[in-house]
Amino acid sequence: MISLTSTDYDAIRLSVEVAVAATLLSLPFGFAAAYLVTFVKFRGKVLAEVFVNLPLTLPPVVVGYLLLLLLGKHGWLGSLLTEAGIRIIFTLKAAVLASAVVGFPLLVRSLRTGMEAIDPQLINASRSLGARWYDTLVTVILPLSVPGLVAGSSLMFARSLGEFGATIIVAGNIPGVTQTIPLAIYEYTSSPGSETMALSLCLIAVAISVVVLFLHEWMARKMARRD
Amino acid sequence: MQLRMAARKKFPDFSFSADLTLTGDRIGIFGASGSGKSTLVSMLAGLLEPDSGEIFLDGDCLYSREQGINLRPEKRRIAIVFQQHCLFPHLNVKNNLLYGFRRCPVKHRIIDFGTLVSVLKLEGLLDRGVNNLSGGEKQRVALGRAVLANPRLLLMDEPLSALDDTLRFQVIPYLKSVCEQFGIPYLFISHSLVEMRLMVDEVLVVSGGAVVEQTSTEKLARSRMGQSPVGYLNLLRLSHPARVDELFSYRFGAGELLISAGSDQEEALFELSSKDIILFKKHPEACSARNLICCSVVTTFESGSRVGVELASGEGRLVAEVVHQAARELGIVVGSELYAAIKASAFRRVG
* Chain segment A15-29, per-residue pLDDT in tens: 999 999 999 999 999
Q: Which residue on chain A is closest to B83 by alpha carbon?
A: A121
Give long-range contacts, CB 8 A cutoff, 24+ apart: B304-308. B304/B225, B304/B226, B304/B227, B305/B226, B306/B225, B306/B226, B306/B231, B307/B332, B308/B222, B308/B225, B308/B232, B308/B274
The whole-chain average pLDDT of chain B stands at 91
| Nearest chain A CA: its distance from B72 CA (Å) | 8
The pLDDT score that the predictor gives to residue B307 is 93
Q: Quick check: B56 contacting A, CB < 8 Å? A: no
Same domain, B7 and B76: yes
Answer yes or no: is pLDDT of A227 > 60.
no
Same domain, B271 and B166: no
Q: Quickly list DSSP for B208-237.
A: TTEEEEEEEHHHHHHHTTTTSTT--EEEEE
The whole-chain average pLDDT of chain A stands at 91
| Nearest chain A CA: its distance from B36 CA (Å) | 17
Same domain, B117 and B246: no
Residue B131 belongs to a domain with what CATH number? 3.40.50.300
Q: Is residue B224 part of a domain?
A: no
Q: Which of B190, B218, B246 is the last residue of a domain?
A: B218
Answer yes or no: is pLDDT of A3 > 80.
no
Chains A, B: CB pairs < 8 Å: 60
The pLDDT score that the predictor gives to residue A214 is 87
Answer yes or no: is pLDDT of B226 > 90.
no
Read off the pLDDT of each residue in B168-176 and give the average, rounded to a whole number: 83
CB neighbours (10 Å) of residue B250?
21
Identity of the residue in B80, B90, B131 whose CB atom sits nearest the CB atom of A125: B80
| Nearest chain A CA: its distance from B305 CA (Å) | 43
The answer to whether B100 contacts A130, with C-beta atoms less than 8 Å apart, is yes
The pLDDT score that the predictor gives to residue B110 is 87
Answer yes or no: is pLDDT of A31 > 90.
yes
pLDDT cut 70: percent of chain B above it: 100
Read off the pLDDT of each residue in B93-122 and give the average, rounded to a whole number: 92
Same domain, B25 and B54: yes
Task: Compute the distance between CA of residue A219 and CA of residue B14 in angstroms, rounded to an integer.
Answer: 45
A41 exposed, middle or buried (CB, 10 Å; 0-12, 13-18, 19+)? exposed
Q: Is residue B223 part of a domain?
A: no
Reported as a pLDDT band with limits 50, 70 and 90, residue B188 is very high
The answer to whether A129 contacts B45, with C-beta atoms less than 8 Å apart, is no
Same domain, B206 and B266: no
Same domain, B166 and B45: yes
Domain count across chain B:
2
Identity of the residue in A119, A128, A143 whose CB atom sits nearest the CB atom of B78: A128
The pLDDT score that the predictor gives to residue A225 is 66
Same domain, B140 and B10: yes
Same domain, B184 and B239: no
Provide φ and ψ at B303, rounded to 5°: -145, 105
Q: Is residue B228 part of a domain?
A: no
The pLDDT score that the predictor gives to residue A94 is 95
Read off the pLDDT of each residue in A94-113 and give the average, rounded to a whole number: 95
Q: CB-based contacts of B209: which residues, under 8 Å, 6+ apart?
A: B14, B15, B16, B17, B35, B36, B39
The pLDDT score that the predictor gives to residue A133 is 93
Residue B336 belongs to a domain with what CATH number? 2.40.50.100
The pLDDT score that the predictor gives to residue B171 is 83
Q: Quickly list DSSP for B134-195.
A: -HHHHHHHHHHHHHHT--SEEEEESTTTTS-HHHHHHHHHHHHHHHHHTT--EEEEES-HHH
Answer yes or no: is pLDDT of B235 > 60.
yes
- By residue range, what is the domain housing residue B280? 233-349
CB A54 within 8 A of CB A102: no
The answer to whether B86 contacts A143, with C-beta atoms less than 8 Å apart, is no
Reported as a pLDDT band with limits 50, 70 and 90, residue B95 is very high
Q: For residue B241, is it left (φ>0), alpha (ψ between -120 and 50) or beta?
A: beta
Asked whether the CA dihedral A87, A90, A91, A97 is positive or negative, the reply is: positive
Q: Is residue B136 part of a domain?
A: yes
Read off the pLDDT of each residue in B42-49 and give the average, rounded to a whole number: 94
The pLDDT score that the predictor gives to residue B234 is 95
Identity of the residue in A121, A127, A140 whose CB atom sits nearest the CB atom of B84: A121
Residues 121-160 of A with CB under 8 A from B: 121-122, 124-132, 135, 139-140, 143-144
Same domain, B24 and B145: yes
The pLDDT score that the predictor gives to residue B67 is 93
CATH number of A6-220: 1.10.3720.10
Reported as a pLDDT band with limits 50, 70 and 90, residue B300 is very high
The pLDDT score that the predictor gives to residue A147 is 87
Reported as a pLDDT band with limits 50, 70 and 90, residue B285 is confident
| Nearest chain A CA: its distance from B107 CA (Å) | 14
Answer yes or no: is pLDDT of A1 > 70.
no
Q: Which of B38, B57, B90 to mutate to test the interface with A (most CBs of A within 10 A)?
A: B90
Q: Which neighbouring-strand residues pair with B29?
A: B189, B204
Task: Compute the distance between CA of residue A153 and CA of residue B117 in angstroms, rounded to an integer.
Answer: 40
The answer to whether A227 contacts B89, with C-beta atoms less than 8 Å apart, is yes
Task: Compute the distance between CA of residue B137 and CA of residue B122 in angstroms, rounded to an integer.
Answer: 8
Same domain, B255 and B210: no
Identity of the residue in A122, A135, A227 whose CB atom sits nearest the CB atom of B88: A122
Q: Which residue on chain A is closest to B150 by alpha carbon?
A: A129
Q: Quick check: B342 contacting A, CB < 8 Å? A: no
What three-state secondary structure class fits A212?
A: helix
The pLDDT score that the predictor gives to residue B177 is 85
The answer to whether A128 contacts B104, with C-beta atoms less than 8 Å apart, is no
Read off the pLDDT of each residue in B28-56 and give the average, rounded to a whole number: 92
In tens, the pLDDT along B263-273 reads 888 889 999 99
In tens, the pLDDT along A126-152 reads 999 999 999 999 999 999 999 889 889
Answer yes or no: is pLDDT of B280 > 90.
yes
Q: Quick check: A222 contacting B, CB < 8 Å? A: no
Read off the pLDDT of each residue in A47-74 and give the average, rounded to a whole number: 93
